Amino acid sequence: MSCIAVIPAGGKGFRSGFSTPKQYLKINGKEIIVYTLQTFQKNKFINKIIIAADSAYFDKLLKLVKKYKLSKVKLIVEGGDSRQQSVFNAVYASEARDNDLMIVHDAARALLPVGVLTKSIISAKRNGNALVCIKAKDTLIKGKKFVDEYLNRDEVYYVQTPQIFKYKDLHKALLKAEKENFVGTDESMLVKNTGRKVNIVEGSVFNFKITTKEDVELFKKLTKK
């Protein structure tokens, strides 16, 4: 059973407020995506890394792979118009076997703890899949301008990545979604749409997705030497 990491990195990053896609912003001398890739490079379970990216950044990625000796990056594929399409392109090009694990992780979740990655892979090997989440801590409400109702936070989680599935299950889910024109917010939604149960694994508050300028500032502070 091989473990193949898929890093969708085709996003434009408009919400971050920067002209450059956020995954290529250089923070403390290193691009955000490099922080992410190094976590997978160092993990003993990872056999191969595939990046799905805008072709305009292929040359840059190849230079970064060489500069930081990211030897597990075996393939860079064209990203799609959506995250779902980018993941589909990477999975399709992976040449994985049915029971190989596909480990999808956001390029902009650059502080993924090594322990969380390892724990999620072990869980997926045992249970067939793994969805990294953190339990809601705050009081949760539903409403627009006014409070409609309070939600039971004991049954609410914030979904993160990595999201890990066997190749055969993720490939089936992607094909089903394409056939039905179903667009999910993440891979777990697509797999759940096929009727499979998705197992929850505890994540980390440090594994936040860099989306806004405030997130970038927080990342700078957390990685400052």
Q: What is the pLDDT of residues 122-154, one digit of tens each?
A: 999 999 999 999 999 999 999 999 999 999 998
Both tokens assigned to 59:
């040359």
3-class SS of residue 73? strand
Residue 185 pLDDT:
93
What is the domain count for the chain?
Answer: 1
The residue with tokens 């190989």 is 100
Sequence-distant (6+) residues with CB within 8 A of 103 are 3, 4, 5, 6, 40, 46, 120, 121, 124, 162, 163, 164
Strands (E), the chain: 3-9, 26-27, 30-31, 48-53, 73-78, 101-104, 129-135, 140-143, 147-151, 157-166, 200-202
Mean pLDDT calculated for residue range 203-225 = 93
Q: What is the pLDDT of residues 19-36, one digit of tens each?
A: 789 999 999 999 999 999
Q: Note if the pTM is more than 0.85.
A: yes
For residue 204, the enclosing domain spans 3-223
pLDDT band at 12 (very low <50, low <70, confident <90, very high): low
CATH number at residue 197: 3.90.550.10
